Structure 1
Amino acid sequence: MLSRRAALMIGAGLAAAPALVRNAQAQEEAIVPVAAPSDLSGLTRIKRELVAPPQVHEHEQVAPGGPRIVEFEMRIQEKEIQVADDAWLQAMTFNGSVPGPMMIVHEGDYVELTLKNPPTNMMQHNIDFHAATGGLGGGALTLINPGEMTVLRFKATRAGVFTYHCAPGGPMIPWHVVSGMSGTIMVLPREGLKDQFGKSVAYDKVVYIGETDFYIPKDETGAYKRFADVGESYPDTLEVMNRLIPSHVVFNGRVGALTGDNALTARVGERVLFVHNQANRDTRPHLIGGHGDLVWEHGKFHNPPAVDQETWFIRGGSSGAALYRFLQPGLYAYVNHNLIEAVNLGATAHVKVEGDWNNDLMEQVTAPTPYDADLELRTALP
């Protein structure tokens, strides 16, 4: 008799069987040696420890020398996460966070990722780097079952911020992505960022925001359903997904992940680089009370940045970056400017900025005070 876990694995596998067979064939063909291994023995190796969003790992803005091999390790975790006060999701994650952690290298470096799929997981997983060249972005070379690991290396040949996501084949692809399996890699130019005039520009901190659309089913009473594991959640979740109407649109995994006590912080005068990823749907970042001083809307750093933007557009399946120097203290809201998604579905972050107020930029000339509306109405009549 099959265990419940085995039955669920078979059910999920059958749903994607044709695509998984094709993907397995592509993987087998891709790993047949057709050239001698690259000799990178002369390059320096450096290991980076990944950290959970919105933070990013230690890095240099300007490359300290020639190309290096930058080593990362990520574990895939299938686990239940709380998306809102009344909603839970059987999530699939890179390193346990939604979005997955950001990786930062320089153009010309080699990214060497050790990817592990623990035996406690139920699903096959892989990783598709939009920054990589060949092999379905690495997806054809990294498809691993529970209890397996793999090592992928690719050369970062293009500068910018790029999406990565899980893409195990067929209907598993969108399900894994909207269940949390996406993230960003930032490939900096070796000389660092430049403004619209080609002049070097630096940032004081990076804020990493991953926007995700979730599709959580409801029961007959209208309450969000909870499931025992990721396999059990698939049929009902697929039905909601196919209607293309998300139940939640959130930053960094849940409603309120970057507001209240979790709000981001900055100081007047600091330059903050906002890196924004959306692996599935278009989005429109906007900083209420601020601007995009320099915006790489397409996320590619060799293109001159747009300047003085109010709202910018990030296509689904891509990442973008915006640099802003805060000029006033106060509470700023960073939102998806589809305000229904921002206010009603959760796509909002807050930035608490400390410093001195500048009345030249904004001043309350008259505080709110009562006035005689009846008198105004009478005098306004002919």
Structure 2
Amino acid sequence: MSHLLKKIGLSVAFTLTLSTAVIAESAEGYIANIGIQSNLEGLERVKQILVAPPFLPIHQQKYSGKPRIIEMEMIIEEKEIEVEPGVFVQAMTFDGTNPGPMMVVHEGDYVELTLKNPKTNLLVHNIDFHAATGALGGGALTKVAPGEQVVLRFKADKPGTYVYHCAPGGVMVPYHVVAGMYGAIMILPKDGLKDNKGKSVTYDKAYYVGEQGWYIPKDHEGKYQRYPNSVAAMNDTLKVMRKLTPTHITYNGKKGALIGKGAMKAKVGETVLFIHSQANEDSRIHLIGGHGDLVWPGGSFNNTPTVDRETWSVLGGEAVAAMYTFKQPGIYAYVNHNLIEAIMLGAAAHVSVEGEWNNDLMEQVQPPSKIKN
């Protein structure tokens, strides 16, 4: 490891910063003063199989039983991603995808995550759940060096949609996040979602869109650079990050990932729940040709949802939920309505909707023709 780092121009002291020194921020302070013990006796254990975004794992929208322990496993993968043809980043990922998988549990459940950092990786990683209480969201209890694994359990006591991300300390926190290492968890109320009048609502489909700002260095000729690993890319990337201006913004890891064959799909009459996250920059979401029938501010299901929104905000470090029932067929553009970021940098997706057109909602009364003098 140190030989590799020397070869790419990093000092032995910096090598320690990337490995042992990061772990030196001990978790003892978080486990030495144990007071209230967990009472997990008799609770059912359920394994949740995580899937790649934009899809969600199999789940119930309502659950009235006793709390359960939801077991999950994620493998950290440092890998190269092609964010657009010919442009590559050395990404850090949960389970190999950007964003990491969506987790779904119910209020009162316990999330029990096994986090694995294979020995083939170079860096220390951890996980900070914005949904969790204490120990830096679990970040202080989950630091794992290459070749290690850790198990974290926390109680899901605040219903809503939340970001999780890697946060190993210091400058490595923003570096890991802008290298793609984040995802989201949804904690559903036991009795399901409610509209602005308190009436129960359900969805036919749900999609998870993770918006990612990438900061990719260029060489002296203005060409995007390519690196052998995330350590080699770090110094140059940090210089680009200081400008606070992403070179690319993607939905689900690649420009156009959710367009064409990858478009999200629905049918006229179906209600779709969209969960949109941004771990670093602010965003503003607009469904062109549609609306946010219900939008939960900040992703909190304890908030009364706002209705009939044209555009809704997603702050950096948030995951926000919005629901819409499609009324017309066709292609809907799902965009960041900073249109510079959507069209020029890549923050756009499509929803392909099947069904019968309703002329009462919209009709071309006269096709284009020459203007008469």
Bigger mean CA deviation after superposition, 30-39 or 251-260: 30-39
Distance in 2, matches of 1:112 and 1:46, equals 10
SS at match of 1:152: strand
Deviation at 1:315, TM superposition (A): 0.9
C-alpha change, 1:74 and 1:13, in structure 2 (3 Å) is farther
Distance in 1, matches of 2:341 and 2:244, equals 14
Q: Which residue of 1 aligns with 2:333?
A: 333
1:333 and 1:351 in contact (8 A); partners too: yes
SS at match of 1:246: coil
Deviation at 1:38, TM superposition (A): 1.9
Distance in 2, matches of 1:57 and 1:2, equals 40
2:105 and 2:187 in contact (8 A); partners too: yes
Q: Which residue of 1 aligns with 2:361?
A: 361
Q: Which residue of 2 aligns with 1:70?
A: 70
SS at match of 1:239: helix
Deviation at 1:5, TM superposition (A): 5.2
2:97 and 2:253 in contact (8 A); partners too: yes
Q: Which residue of 2 aligns with 1:204?
A: 204
List runs of 5+ in structure 2 lacking aligned partners. none
Amino acid at match of 1:275: I
Q: Which residue of 2 aligns with 1:379?
A: none
Distance in 2, matches of 1:207 and 1:288, equals 17
Deviation at 1:31, TM superposition (A): 3.1
Amino acid at match of 1:154: F
C-alpha change, 1:255 and 1:188, in structure 2 (3 Å) is same
Q: Which residue of 1 aligns with 2:370?
A: 370
1:18 and 1:170 in contact (8 A); partners too: no
Deviations 1:16-56 (A, max 9, x none): 83998586334232233523642312100000000000011
Distance in 1, matches of 2:50 and 2:252, equals 16
C-alpha change, 1:222 and 1:7, in structure 2 (3 Å) is closer
1:263 and 1:351 in contact (8 A); partners too: yes
Deviation at 1:302, TM superposition (A): 1.1
Distance in 1, matches of 2:106 and 2:333, equals 31
Say whether 1:295 aligns with 2:262.
Answer: no
2:329 and 2:354 in contact (8 A); partners too: yes
Deviation at 1:358, TM superposition (A): 0.3
Amino acid at match of 1:336: N
Distance in 1, matches of 2:79 and 2:264, equals 26
Say whether 1:238 aligns with 2:238.
Answer: yes
Deviation at 1:164, TM superposition (A): 0.3
Q: Which residue of 2 aligns with 1:378?
A: none
TM-score, structure 1 normalization = 0.94
Distance in 2, matches of 1:310 and 1:32, equals 50
1:19 and 1:170 in contact (8 A); partners too: no
Q: Which residue of 2 aligns with 1:179?
A: 179
Larger radius of gyration: 1
Q: Which residue of 1 aligns with 2:322?
A: 322
Deviations 1:291-317 (A, max 9, x none): 000001310001100000000011110
Deviation at 1:261, TM superposition (A): 1.6
TM-score, structure 2 normalization = 0.96
Distance in 2, matches of 1:345 and 1:133, equals 35
Say whether 1:157 aligns with 2:157.
Answer: yes
Deviation at 1:370, TM superposition (A): 1.4
Distance in 1, matches of 2:286 and 2:62, equals 28
Distance in 2, matches of 1:92 and 1:72, equals 19
Residues 240-259 of structure 1 correspond to what in structure 2 (within 5 A)? Answer: 240-259=240-259
1:78 and 1:230 in contact (8 A); partners too: yes
Deviation at 1:284, TM superposition (A): 0.1
SS at match of 2:54: coil
Distance in 1, matches of 2:204 and 2:97, equals 24
Percent identical pairs in the alignment equals: 57
Distance in 2, matches of 1:64 and 1:256, equals 40
Distance in 1, matches of 2:171 and 2:101, equals 24
2:6 and 2:12 in contact (8 A); partners too: no
Say whether 1:282 aligns with 2:299.
Answer: no
1:165 and 1:279 in contact (8 A); partners too: yes
Deviations 1:113-159 (A, max 9, x none): 00000000000000000000000000000011000000000000100
Deviations 1:50-88 (A, max 9, x none): 000001100000014111000000000000010011210
Q: Which residue of 2 aligns with 1:380?
A: none
Amino acid at match of 1:34: I
C-alpha change, 1:131 and 1:221, in structure 2 (3 Å) is same
Q: Which residue of 1 aligns with 2:309?
A: 309
Distance in 2, matches of 1:129 and 1:299, equals 14
Distance in 2, matches of 1:218 and 1:159, equals 42
C-alpha change, 1:244 and 1:358, in structure 2 (3 Å) is same
The RMSD of aligned alpha carbons is: 2.0
SS at match of 1:25: coil
2:212 and 2:250 in contact (8 A); partners too: yes
Deviation at 1:175, TM superposition (A): 0.5
List runs of 5+ in structure 1 lacking aligned partners. 376-382
